[in-house]
Structure 1
Amino acid sequence: MAEHVSIVGLIERVENASGEKMTSVAQILRALGQNSFTPNLLIPALAVLSPLSGVPLVSTFCGCLITLVSAQMLLGRDHIWLPQALMARQIGTARLRQVGDFMKRPARWLDRVTRPRLQILSQPPFSLIARVICLCGGMLMPFLELVPFTSSIVGAVVALLAFGMLARDGVFTLVAFVAVLVLAGGLVWLLV
């Protein structure tokens, strides 16, 4: 993987962001790095894929984070800014570690199968398209919370795109693009 990025390593950084009973978003942001946009996009997407997505308002919260991070990526900012209300939000450290442990098995598989492929899909204009899809997905998540676990579908697309950007593995980006086309086609078919 490019720059030797490990998803398991990112999850462990999040798990160890705090030694206290509660972990804040600000602590997680510091652990991942305020100039590390893609990991800060990937982690909330993975949270939406985890059992946490069944907890009321978690998908909305993660959708807001995804929206803010992807918008700042599109604007070309050099570091992430989040409102204090989001930075102060907390989750129990034990729960965070439990979710992290749940996510490590698929993360290990991703770390094994990833390598630089189809790198053109991680460069403009495709990288801009990926960021726009992430932005739209994040904005859509609060509305999807009305139907339990549907936000996990959008979270999967965002996670694939973020992982493709992070690892510079265009195969993941391509799979996400195909998923978006299939979902959009299905939606049009239902509406017609």
Structure 2
Amino acid sequence: MTQPPANLSQLLQRLRDQTEGQDQVSIGDLLAAVGQRSFGPIVLVAGLIVVAPLIGDIPGVPTLLGLVVLLTLGQLLFRRETIWLPHKLTHRRVGRDKLMKGLDWMAKPARFVDRWSRPRLTWLVRGPGRYLMAIICMLVAAAMPAMEVVPFSANGGGLALMVFGMAMVARDGLLALLGMVLTGGTLWFVLAGLMGS
């Protein structure tokens, strides 16, 4: 059984290693790389791909990854031990070269985050706090189709998911609080953009 990665740098390296030699990478490949019990890393990877240059800008990708997050965290709320995604979804693919550019872009920030993050305010990422984070992430994921209409807002949503994913991986409640602030700002930006158009 695949153990969840201990930090963001380890997650990025695992994605590189597990997809080596492939031209196209499927969502199923990413799921296999992080482990089927790894709710936090899956949210983190979804956010990373939405934020990453060249990938997150492809129309439909933020919505697709929002659906992955909704299905994944919905299962967390129902206390499933492993993650199941529909066959049609797990076989959606992206070019590995684009994925690698996104991972390279994230390498330096990942090292910074890994040095800075540590277990703290853990009540925010365990028990009821964990379920609250899941619900907030699901709200962000559900708003992804609207974010594709409002320029740059999907990046904010992806960043919020990334931060929540890192909070789950590092058991860092301070990151969870930052994720909540980012979510509030992004949803306000989306609503303002939709009302102004």
Per the TM superposition, whether the score is higher than 0.5 is: yes
Tell me, what secondary structure is at the counterpart of 1:23?
A: strand
Q: 2:150–2:190: 8 Å Cα contact kept in structure 1?
A: no
Give the length in aligned residue pairs: 189
Q: 1:29–1:40: 8 Å Cα contact kept in structure 2?
A: yes
Pick from 26, 38, 42 the counterpart of residue 24 of structure 1. Answer: 26
**Are positions 1:116 and 2:119 aligned together?**
yes
Q: CA deviation at 1:120?
A: 1.5
Measure the CA separation in 1 of the matches of 2:183 and 2:94: 31
Q: 1:164–1:173: 8 Å Cα contact kept in structure 2?
A: yes
**Are positions 1:11 and 2:12 aligned together?**
yes
Measure the CA separation in 2 of the matches of 1:184 and 1:146: 13
Q: Deviations over 1:130-150 (max 9, x none)?
A: 110011111110221112321
Partner of 1:166: 169
Q: CA deviation at 1:14?
A: 1.5
Q: Deviations over 1:134-190 (max 9, x none)?
A: 111111102211123211111222222221121111110112223344556678899
Partner of 2:110: 107
Partner of 1:47: 49
Q: Deviations over 1:11-59 (max 9, x none)?
A: 1211232222111111111111111111111101111111122111111
Tell me, what secondary structure is at the counterpart of 1:31?
A: helix
Measure the CA separation in 2 of the matches of 1:49 and 1:124: 28
Q: CA deviation at 1:78?
A: 0.8
Tell me, what secondary structure is at the counterpart of 1:16?
A: helix
Pick from 178, 183, 188 the counterpart of residue 175 of structure 1. Answer: 178
**What is the TM-score of this pair, normalised by structure 1?**
0.89
Q: 2:156–2:186: 8 Å Cα contact kept in structure 1?
A: no
Partner of 2:87: 84
Question: Which amino acid is the alignment partner of residue 98 of structure 2?
Answer: R
Question: Which amino acid is the alignment partner of residue 148 of structure 2?
Answer: E
Give the unaligned 5+ runs of structure 2.
none
Aligned-pair RMSD on alpha carbons? 2.2
Summarize the Cα distance change of 1:62–1:161 in structure 2 as closer, same or farther, 3 Å threshold.
same
Summarize the Cα distance change of 1:123–1:95 in structure 2 as closer, same or farther, 3 Å threshold.
same
